[in-house]
Structures are given as structure tokens and as C-alpha cells.
């Protein structure tokens, strides 16, 4: 390869170098030229991004910009093949450029180690490209790029993988479905009471073990706990229940002090007795207290059954048979609650798997693991009080602790137990990223890109990779836009202002909405994202300058009529020299006026509630819905309902709060990722 590279460099531009001969023969002269001269933006240099960049440079794409804000981590190296061990901690985009350039030195690659949401990558930046390819791992950035492409009218290829599943979606703004035309599941916080009092799935127990119990005993003093409980009351969760949770928390602080003290003294016997006290508190006393709140159980068919340490240590539970269940078996369903005489002696697990991590642990196993892991963690915590522990799925003691404590809770609540391996996946929110899936998707992206660049939109396909059906790879023509979409059914007006400090909000409203769009009869509301800047009853801001309103290059102002009868108008601001001396210049050839908003007919209304949307999503066999992850994250629907344009699903607080070690890089990523940096749904 090196010899080809050097000979073609020496040849300069004289002839299409030998390396392009095949590409030219396959694509045809014209299509090859389009490919070679097109300007391509690749967003993301991770799992798909690395494969994609390699494909692009080898196919003959000549002008590529790549952007990623991440740095390389050891765990990337099993699939992000542009990176090697010596690149760890270096920016992904920069190293990806270096490695890919060595495959084909004729390619011009510009790399940005940056966040795509920075103002400098505004609509005018996007307009400089013929095609944008998304290789992102989070919903928030995907939705952002989708919106920028819609606003700038640039075609987008959206992609994602989850395990063996994957997809490629071609998006032609205004003519095909955009990324936000279909609702997306967003991870959601679990209500406090579900985690703390009424779990019903394994993930509830794992979140409890990892985010609550672990933190209570070994983590940083959780000052947010009281706030969280206050907020839960404000949110309408059961006040009496929250009150007793506060009491529980206080007891827990006492126990923690005793545990640390015993571990400091190195008194094994005392440590064991405190660990026993913890066991009886969380699996017996707290459960008995909950059972005393009768109204809590009136609508729940199955009540929890307390575990007593002395019985549990002998493998005896009042919850009925606790034989290891076969993989995926439903939880034990005790119709009328458990009866005391159902107590049974534990038997060895039926699961024949001998791998320690993949075996469902018996009650006794879990109790033993509880004793050993809690003691080990207590000793570590006591050794350095200034350095509280935080959960790390790769820390064996921590993972043992979360495995056994969540399983014991599952036994109490008649929920499926999970193996250590499963707990690791769920607690670490890992859906395995698979190199070959990324490779297939990256290949599909290039095929679709070739169709788009040669103008053959009729040949583009929405590609899905699914397992369990006859075809692993399927393709469908892209669908029509959803008339209810809150992104691509809006109007976008790019403007150039002479100065951000001189032009006022009123100038923009008058020039764009009233003059250009004829909305002078309407009562107007002006938003910056979800923030209302002005409405008919609040005009104080109108005379302020754009700078004073916190707007900058690339900001998008949204203007709607008060009744939201018309499509929303998004004014995309850039700063430019307006030669004519105008303060504001409309930078679009034709101005599309807002049309009456799509109104649902009666028939539509009948099936427009959220439940139905979720049901449709579940039935549609599209990987983006990440049904594999649905058991991990509860669902909300975002996208079609027009709330405010930038409204996002909230991050999984239960998970986030436990991670005390947030590096600046991670923090920046969390800010970019918004919805799911640390959530269950991972597209890589
Ligand atoms: Zn749309």
C-alpha cells in the first residue's frame, strides 16, 4: 500500500491514480467524480464512525470532515479499529483522521475534536456539505444533527446499532421522514417509590442496589437524597411513604457509622454482626414496615415477603421455593400472597452452567456473597474515609455486592433473579457493541451515500438489520414525512444580521415574521428553545438586543402564533456583512410561509394517545426502538407530540446520581448526550 500511496502522490493530479481505477470502473466516471469531489460531514468517530471513515477513504470520497468530542478509551479498542493502545486518551477524531489518511493519502480529511452542538457548527456550516452521515451514540446529538440538516436542507444518513441490530435511514429534508418523524423511546427516571418500595422488575432491584444501597453504605454522603425526596413529594408521590423513607435513611446513616468503625478496628466478628444488622434492616424490618401500609398493597397482587438473616443463611425463605429459575422464566407468581408454611429448604441451583458469572445464585449463595462483599467493601471504605467508593462494574467487590443485594431483594419481591453476568450488563447499562454489526452498517451507509450523491433518491432504502426473522437485512423506501412532526414540518428561515448587539428582538420579529412572512395579524410568541422570550402579555424583551437575550451565531429563534394555528417558524441567526446596509437580510432564495398546522381528523384522534403510539412502536420491527433495552429503561414517547422543540427526555437520575467521578470529558459528553449518556439505550 505504501508504494501505491507514494507513486500516486508523485503523480499528483495528472491522472486518476491507480488506486481509484476500480472505484471508477464500478461507479462509472461521472458518479466517481461526484463521489470524489463531494463534501461529506461524518458526525462521530466511534464504532460506526471508524468503519465508515475507512470505507469512505477507500471508496474514493475525497473531502471529509469528521467531528467527535470523545477521547479514546481502552474499551473502544475491540471494535474501533482506527485506534490502538498508544492512542488511549487522545481525541478520537484526530487519531481517526491520521489512521484513515494513511490508507489513502489523497483524501482531504478535516478533523474537529469538538461538540457538534457548538455555535460555530451552525446552519451555514451544514450548508457547506453535500451530505451528512451520522455515526452517533446518543439520541440528543442525533436529534440535533437531524434538526440542523432539516434547517439547512442538507441530506442526512442516520445510522445506529445495538448488538446485532442496526439501521440506516436516508433523510431528504421535507420529502422523506426525518429522524424525529417517528417517536423515540427515551430513558426515564424511575419513580422513587418504585425503586425504594415497590419494585416489580429486576432492573428496579439492580438500580436500588447500585444507586441506593451501595451509595448509602459506601458512597459519598448523598446530599441530594433529601432534595430527591422533597421533589418526590412535590411530584405527588405518597407523602406518608416518603416520610418513612426519610426515617430509613437516618437509620442507615447510623448503621454505616457502625460498619466503618468495626472495619477500622479490624474486628471481623463485629463487622459480621453489623452486616447481619444491615441484612435484617433492608430485607426484614423495612419490608415489614412497608407491609404495614395496607393501602400500598390493595392494588398489587403480590406482597413482598421479609427475609430473616438466620433463616436465609440456612437457605430458608418464607417466599416459597427459591430454586434457581430457568433463564427467562417468569417471576414466581403467588396469587394470594405467600403462606408461611410454604417455607422450603433451598436446593442446589438447577442451572447447569458451571461458569461462575452465568449461574443463577441460590439464596444461600447470595447470603454468603452478601457477607463477603459487604465486609470487603467496608474494609476498603474504612481504609480511606476521605475517598468514598463509587460503583464500578469492573470492581469485583462492588459487582458482587450489587449482584447479591439485588437478587436478595428480588427474592423478597418474587422477581426473577439475575446472574452476575446479567447484573454487570444491566448495572453498567451495557448493550454489547459488535464490530461486525458496525461494519455492515458502515457499508450500507456508503451504498446509500452513493445513491444520494448521484441523485438517485428512488434507489435509497431505509435499511434494518434484525435477527429472528427470515431476512437479516431488509430495505424499505423511505417514508413520507409525518405531518405531525415537530421538526421537519416547521418553517426554517436563515437570516444574516449586521450585528448581534445592535439588532433587537423586535427587529427580527418585524422583518421576518411580519414583513417577510405576513404574520402581522397574528399575536406572536417568541422562544429560544423552551424559553419564552416574548408573548403578547410580555413584551419587555422586544427592545433588547440579540446579545442581551443570550443569542449568538447559530442560535435558532422560534416564532409561533399564540394559538399555534400555523406551523412554527425557526429563524436561524448568523452574523454577516449585509452589503445593502440592511440590519437583517433573509438568506433564503424562496421564503416558505407558515401553513396551517396539520389538524388531526376525528379518526386520527381515536388512536392518538401515547399508549397506542407505544404499542405501534413495539410492533414495528425497527431496531431504533431498541426493544432489547426496553426492559432496562421505561418508556416515554418523544418526537411527534409538539411540546417545545428542544424538550428532551431526562437523564436517568437514579443512575447518574451514583456516579460521583465525572471527568471534564465525561461531563461535556453528558451535556451533549443529554438523554442517554449513562442510560440503557446505546447506539454505537
Ligand atoms: Zn420529521
Section 396-411 average pLDDT: 96
User: Per the annotation, where are the binding residues?
Assistant: 44-49, 68, 76-79, 92, 137-142, 178, 181, 485, 488
Same domain (yes/no): 133, 28 = yes
Q: List, as residue ranges, the binding site for Zn(2+).
A: 178, 181, 485, 488
Instruction: Identify whether residues 87 and 223 lie together within a single domain.
Output: no
Q: Give the pLDDT mean for 384-388.
A: 85
Domain CATH code at residue 306: 1.10.10.520
Classify 63 as helix, strand or coil. Answer: strand
Residue 1's H or E segment, with its range, is none
Give backbone dihedrals phi and psi of 256, rounded to 5 degrees, phi first: -60, -45
**284 and 354 inside one domain:** yes
Among residues 443, 447, 450, 444, the alpha carbon closest in space to that of 36 is found at: 450
pLDDT over 80 (residue 10) = no
Last residue of a domain, one of 525, 557, 586: 586
One domain, residues 139 and 267:
no
Q: Are residues 349 and 460 in the same domain?
A: no
Query: Which residues face 473 on adjacent strands?
Result: 465
Residue 250, C-beta contacts closer than 8 angstroms, at least 6 positions apart? none
Beta-sheet strands, E only, within 225-357: 316-317, 344-345
Kindly give the distance from the C-alpha atom of residue 439 to the centroid of ligand 1, in angstroms, as a whole number: 27
pLDDT per residue as tens digits for the range 149-202: 999 999 999 999 988 999 999 999 999 999 999 987 765 567 777 888 889 899
> Which pLDDT value is given to residue 176?
96
Residues 312 and 388 in one domain: yes
Asked whether residue 486 is assigned to any structural domain, the reply reads no
- Using pLDDT thresholds of 50, 70 and 90, give the confidence band for residue 85: very high
Instruction: Specify the CATH number for the domain of residue 550.
Output: 3.10.290.20
Instruction: Give catalytic residues, as residue numbers.
Output: 193
Which has the closest alpha carbon to 649: 628, 621, 626? 626
Residues 28 and 145 both lie in one domain: yes
Mean pLDDT of the 250-268 span: 90
pLDDT band at 253 (very low <50, low <70, confident <90, very high): confident
Counted residue by residue, the chain has a size of: 684
Tell whether the model's pLDDT for residue 601 goes beyond 80. no
Ligand 1 geometric centre to CA of 287 (Å):
48
- Rounded Cα–Cα distance for residues 248 and 217 (Å): 13
* Same domain? 402 vs 448: no
| Predicted local confidence at residue 671, as pLDDT | 36
Write out the residue range of the structural domain in which residue 56 sits.
2-185+432-476
Q: How many domains does the chain have?
A: 3
Query: Has residue 683 been placed in a domain?
Result: no
CA distance 504 to 488: 27
Q: How far apart are CA 483 and CA 58, in angstroms?
A: 39
Residues 6 or more apart in contact with residue 245 via CB below 8 angstroms: 192, 196, 197, 229
On the question of pLDDT at 336 being above 60, the answer is no
Q: Please tell me the distance between residue 298's alpha carbon and the centre of ligand 1 in angstroms.
A: 44
Q: Rounded to the nearest whole angstrom, what is the distance from the C-alpha of residue 435 to the centroid of ligand 1?
A: 30
State the pLDDT at residue 322: 45
Mean pLDDT of the chain: 79
- Domain termination site, one of 586, 610, 642: 586
* Bridge partners (DSSP) listed for residue 110: 65
Percentage of the chain modeled with pLDDT above 70? 77
CA of 466 to the centre of ligand 1 (A): 24
Q: What is the mean pLDDT of residues 526-552?
A: 90
Three-state DSSP string of 119-171 = CCCCHHHHCCCCEEEECCCCHHHHHHHHHHHHHHCCCEEEEEEECCEEEEEEE
Of 555, 586, 617, the one marking the end of a domain is: 586
DSSP conformation letters of 549-568: TT--TT-EEEEEETT--BPP
Q: Contact, 8 vs 81, CB < 8 A?
A: no
| Residue of 463 and 673 predicted with greater confidence | 463
Dist CA 460 CA 463 (whole Å): 9
**pLDDT at position 399 over 50:** yes
Instruction: Assign 522 a pLDDT band (cuts: 50, 70, 90).
Output: confident
pLDDT at 356 (0 to 100): 75
Closest Cα to residue 385, out of 550, 207, 256, 563?
A: 256
Each residue's pLDDT tens digit, 615-651 = 222 222 333 333 333 222 332 233 333 333 332 222 2
Strands 637-638 and 108-113: unpaired
Q: What is the pLDDT of residue 73?
A: 81
Predicted local distance difference test score (pLDDT) of residue 575: 85
SS3 at position 519: coil
Least confident of 292-301, 354-363, 673-682: 673-682
Q: Is 591 inside any structural domain?
A: no
Annotated binding site for ATP: which residue ranges? 44-49, 68, 76-79, 92, 137-142
pLDDT at residue number 210: 92
Does residue 391 fall inside a structural domain?
A: yes
Can you give the pLDDT at residue 319? 62
DSSP class per residue in 347-411: ---S-----GGGSPPPHHHHHHHHHHHHHHHHHHHHH-TTS-----TT-HHHHHHHHHHHHHHHH
| Residue partners of 40: CB distance under 8 A and separation at least 6 | 56, 61, 63, 64, 65, 129, 130, 131, 132, 133, 449
Q: Could you tell me the distance, in angstroms and rounded to a whole number, from the CA of residue 146 to the centre of ligand 1?
A: 9
Q: Which CATH number do you get for residue 446?
A: 3.40.50.720
Among 59-68, 192-201, 358-367, 423-432, the range scoring the smallest mean pLDDT is 423-432
Domain membership of residue 30 (yes or no) is yes
Question: Residues 47, 171: one domain?
Answer: yes
Using alpha carbons, list the distances in angstroms from residue 332 to 49, 80, 244. 44, 42, 28
The predicted pLDDT at position 340 comes to 31
Mean pLDDT of 439-445: 97
Distance (angstroms) between ligand 1 centre and the Cα of 483 equals 8
Same domain membership, residue 179 and residue 37 = yes
Secondary structure, 3-state, 324-361: CCCCCCCCCCCCCCCCHHHCEECCCCCCCCCCHHHCCC
| Range 330-358 average pLDDT | 43
What is the pLDDT at residue 157? 98
Whether residue 527 lies inside any domain: the answer is yes
SS3 breakdown of the chain: % helix, strand, coil, rounded to 5?
45, 15, 45
637 within domain boundaries: no
Q: Once rounded to an integer, what is the mean pLDDT over residues 411-421?
A: 94
Query: What is the 47 CA–ligand 1 centroid distance (Å)?
Result: 26
pLDDT digits (tens, 9 = 90+) for 20-53: 998 899 999 999 999 999 999 999 999 999 999 9
How does pLDDT run across 101-156, given as a tens digit for each residue? 999 999 999 999 999 988 889 888 999 999 999 999 888 899 999 999 999 999 99
Regarding whether 230 and 170 lie in a shared domain, the answer is no
In a domain, 307, yes or no: yes
CA of 266 to the centre of ligand 1 (A): 63
Q: Are residues 217 and 292 in the same domain?
A: yes
Amino acid at each position: 500500500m505504501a508504494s501505491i500511496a507514494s507513486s500516486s502522490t508523485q503523480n499528483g493530479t495528472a491522472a486518476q491514480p491507480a488506486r481509484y481505477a476500480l472505484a471508477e470502473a464500478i461507479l462509472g466516471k461521472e458518479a466517481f467524480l461526484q463521489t470524489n469531489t463531494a463534501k461529506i460531514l461524518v458526525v462521530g468517530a466511534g464504532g460506526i464512525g471508524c468503519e465508515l471513515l475507512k470505507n469512505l477513504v477507500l471508496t474514493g470520497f475525497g473531502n471529509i470532515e469528521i467531528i467527535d468530542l470523545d477521547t479514546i478509551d481502552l474499551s473502544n479498542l475491540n471494535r474501533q479499529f482506527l485506534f490502538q493502545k498508544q492512542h488511549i486518551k487522545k481525541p478520537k477524531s484526530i487519531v481517526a483522521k491520521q489512521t484513515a489518511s494513511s490508507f489513502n493519502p489523497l483524501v482531504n480529511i478535516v478533523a474537529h475534536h469538538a461538540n457538534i452542538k457548538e455555535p460555530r457548527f451552525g446552519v451555514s456550516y451544514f450548508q457547506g456539505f453535500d451530505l451528512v452521515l451520522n455515526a452517533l451514540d446518543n439520541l440528543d446529538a442525533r436529534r440535533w444533527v437531524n434538526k440542523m440538516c432539516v434547517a439547512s436542507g442538507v441530506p442526512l444518513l442516520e445510522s445506529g446499532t445495538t448488538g446485532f441490530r442496526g439501521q440506516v435511514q436516508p433523510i431528504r429534508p421535507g420529502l422523506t421522514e426525518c429522524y424525529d418523524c417517528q417517536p423515540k423511546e427515551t430513558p426515564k427516571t424511575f419513580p422513587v417509590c418504585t425503586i425504594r418500595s415497590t419494585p416489580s422488575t429486576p432492573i428496579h432491584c439492580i438500580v436500588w442496589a447500585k444507586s441506593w444501597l451501595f451509595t448509602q453504605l459506601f458512597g459519598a454522603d448523598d446530599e441530594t437524597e433529601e432534595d430527591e425526596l422533597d421533589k418526590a413529594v412535590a411530584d405527588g408521590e405518597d407523602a406518608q411513604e416518603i416520610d418513612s423513607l426519610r426515617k430509613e435513611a437516618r437509620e442507615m446513616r447510623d448503621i454505616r457509622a457502625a460498619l466503618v468503625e468495626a472495619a477500622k478496628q479490624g474486628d471481623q466478628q463485629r463487622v459480621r454482626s453489623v452486616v447481619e444488622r444491615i441484612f435484617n434492616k433492608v430485607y426484614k424490618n423495612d419490608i415489614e414496615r412497608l407491609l404495614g401500609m395496607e393501602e400500598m398493597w390493595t392494588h398489587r397482587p403480590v406482597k413482598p415477603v421479609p427475609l430473616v438473616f438466620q433463616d436465609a443463611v440456612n437457605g430458608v425463605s418464607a417466599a416459597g421455593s427459591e430454586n434457581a429459575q430457568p433463564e427467562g422464566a417468569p417471576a414466581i407468581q403467588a396469587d394470594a400472597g405467600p403462606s408461611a408454611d410454604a417455607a422450603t429448604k433451598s436446593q442446589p441451583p438447577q442451572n447447569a452452567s458451571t461458569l461462575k458469572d452465568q449461574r443463577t445464585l441460590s439464596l444461600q449463595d447470595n447470603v454468603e456473597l452478601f457477607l463477603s462483599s459487604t465486609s470487603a467493601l467496608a474494609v476498603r471504605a474504612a481504609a480511606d474515609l476521605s475517598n468514598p467508593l463509587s460503583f464500578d462494574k469492573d470492581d469485583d467487590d462492588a459487582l458482587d455486592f450489587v449482584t447479591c443485594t439485588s437478587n436478595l431483594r428480588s427474592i423478597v419481591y418474587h422477581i426473577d433473579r439475575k446472574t452476575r453476568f446479567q447484573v454487570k450488563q444491566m448495572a453498567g447499562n451495557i448493550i454489547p457493541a459488535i464490530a461486525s454489526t458496525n461494519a455492515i452498517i458502515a457499508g450500507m451507509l456508503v451504498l446509500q451515500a452513493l445513491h444520494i450523491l448521484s441523485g438517485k433518491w428512488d434507489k435509497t432504502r431505509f435499511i434494518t438489520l434484525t435477527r429472528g426473522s427470515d431476512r437479516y437485512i431488509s430495505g424499505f423506501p423511505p417514508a413520507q414525512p409525518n405531518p405531525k412532526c415537530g421538526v421537519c414540518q416547521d418553517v426554517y428561515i436563515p437570516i444574516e444580521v449586521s450585528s448581534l448587539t445592535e439588532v433587537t428582538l423586535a427587529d427580527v420579529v418585524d422583518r421576518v415574521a411580519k414583513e417577510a412572512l405576513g404574520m402581522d395579524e397574528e399575536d406572536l410568541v417568541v422562544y429560544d428553545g423552551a424559553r419564552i422570550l416574548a408573548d403578547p402579555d410580555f413584551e419587555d424583551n422586544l427592545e433588547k438586543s440579540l446579545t442581551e437575550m443570550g443569542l449568538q451565531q447559530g442560535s435558532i429563534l422560534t416564532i409561533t402564533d399564540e394559538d399555534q394555528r400555523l406551523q412554527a417558524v425557526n429563524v436561524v441567526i448568523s452574523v454577516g456583512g449585509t452589503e445593502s446596509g440592511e440590519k437583517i437580510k433573509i438568506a433564503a432564495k424562496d421564503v416558505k410561509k407558515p401553513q396551517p398546522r396539520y389538524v388531526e381528523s376525528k379518526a386520527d384522534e381515536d388512536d392518538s394517545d401515547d399508549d397506542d403510539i407505544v404499542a405501534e412502536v413495539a410492533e414495528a420491527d425497527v431496531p431504533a426502538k431498541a426493544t432489547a433495552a426496553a426492559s432496562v429503561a421505561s418508556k416515554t414517547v418523544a418526537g411527534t407530540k409538539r411540546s417545545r422543540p428542544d424538550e428532551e427526555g431526562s437523564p436517568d437520575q437514579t443512575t447518574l446520581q451514583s456516579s460521583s467521578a465525572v471527568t471534564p470529558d465525561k461531563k461535556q459528553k453528558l451535556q451533549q448526550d443529554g438523554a442517554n449518556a449513562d442510560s440503557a439505550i446505546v447506539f454505537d
